Amino acid sequence: MITFYYNLAPNPMKVALCLEEMGLPYELKPVDTRKGEQHHPDYLTINPNAKVPAIVDQDTGATVFDSNAILLYLAEKTGRFLPPEDPVERGELLSWLMFVATGVGPFSGQAVHFKRDAPDPKEYAVNRYLFEARRHYSILDARLAGRPYMLGGIYTIVDMAVWGWARMVPFILGEDAWTTFPNLKRLLDEISARPAAQAAIALKDQHAFKTEMDEEARRHLFRHVTPQWN
Ligand SMILES: N[C@@H](CCC(=O)N[C@@H](CS)C(=O)NCC(=O)O)C(=O)O
């Protein structure tokens, strides 16, 4: 059994998709980040970075945090959704997994933060992060031109990592963004139609997470405003 610490944000959703694709039994532990549950001392022993997702695998005793690390862990555990064992393929797998983890995710997250939550003046930051987010999605789109999946002919954990963020493209870049990224949209639609993705999306009905971005939520999510280190 795997314990899955989650909310409905893009990084946990990748892991939900992966658990469903692999048919692994898991139990849900909601972490309501707008109520500050990510900072609870018990949760920090699981993810010292105070973010979701994280998993605890009771079969092996492993605790894993950071979404793409979890995808790789689960793929290696099951031997599934990986490219063939070959150094060239392995290189591509690692490159694209890290590209999503260190580029697509952080730039998208910061673009939303500055656009929606930061105080003025913020024009420079909004422009920078939107530009970088758009640039990263255009690299994904170019990679998918003439290739069904990120690593070629087979659906892998890299596509699952991409799916988590591709769902957010209209929210991040605007409703008309899909006209620019047709290949990425094709991959998103194909994965979203899979039963595993439908099951992952249905997790929204399992728990009522706080939705208000009120003073309490801002205090827990934007700790630089009133710094506290524990
Ligand atoms: N590198 C981490 C990032 C995780 C992350 O930023 N999670 C967000 C939700 S998508 C979160 O927990 N935010 C709450 C907070 O920042 O306090 C991963 O890929 O798992």
C-alpha–C-alpha distance, residues 74 and 132, integer Å: 30
| Stretch (H or E) spanning 30 | strand 26-30
- Would you say the pTM of this structure is higher than 0.85? yes
> What pLDDT shows up at residue 226?
73
> What pLDDT shows up at residue 228?
62
> How many CB atoms lie under 10 A from the CB of residue 55?
27
Residue to substitute in 15, 51, 172 for testing ligand 1 pocket (most ligand atoms within 8 angstroms of CB): 51
Distance between Cα 194 and ligand 1 center (Å) = 25
Q: What is the pLDDT of residues 190-219, one digit of tens each?
A: 999 999 999 999 999 999 999 999 999 999
Q: With 50 as the cut, is the pLDDT of residue 10 above it? A: yes
Which residue's CA lies nearest to atom 1 of ligand 1? 66
CATH 3.40.30.10 fits 2-80+199-229, yes or no: yes
What number does the ligand 1 atom closest to the CA of 221 have?
17
> What pLDDT shows up at residue 230?
45
* Domain boundaries of the chain, sorted by first residue: 2-80+199-229, 87-193
Single-letter code of the amino acid located at 53 = P
Which residue's CA lies nearest to atom 2 of ligand 1? 66
Q: What is the pLDDT of residues 109-148, one digit of tens each?
A: 999 999 999 999 999 999 999 999 999 999 999 999 999 9
Single-letter code of the amino acid located at 117 = D
Cβ pair 71, 161 in contact under 8 A: yes
Indicate if ligand 1 lies below 6 Å from the C-beta of 66: yes
Indicate if ligand 1 lies below 6 Å from the C-beta of 38: yes
C-alpha–C-alpha distance, residues 169 and 71, integer Å: 21
Mean pLDDT of 156-175: 98
Q: Give the three-state DSSP class for 119.
A: coil
Question: Which CATH topology does 87-193 take?
Answer: Glutathione S-transferase Yfyf (Class Pi); Chain A, domain 2 (1.20.1050)
Q: Is residue 169 very low, low, confident or very high in pLDDT (cuts 50, 70, 90)? A: very high
Interstrand relation of 2-6 and 62-65 (parallel, antiparallel or unpaired):
unpaired
Whole-angstrom CA distances from 106 to 34, 137, 191, 196 are 19, 12, 22, 25
C-alpha–C-alpha distance, residues 194 and 5, integer Å: 23
> What pLDDT shows up at residue 159?
99
Q: With 50 as the cut, is the pLDDT of residue 165 above it? A: yes
Kindly state the tokens that stand for 107.
């730039």
Per the prediction, the chain carries an average pLDDT of 97
Indicate if ligand 1 lies below 6 Å from the C-beta of 104: no
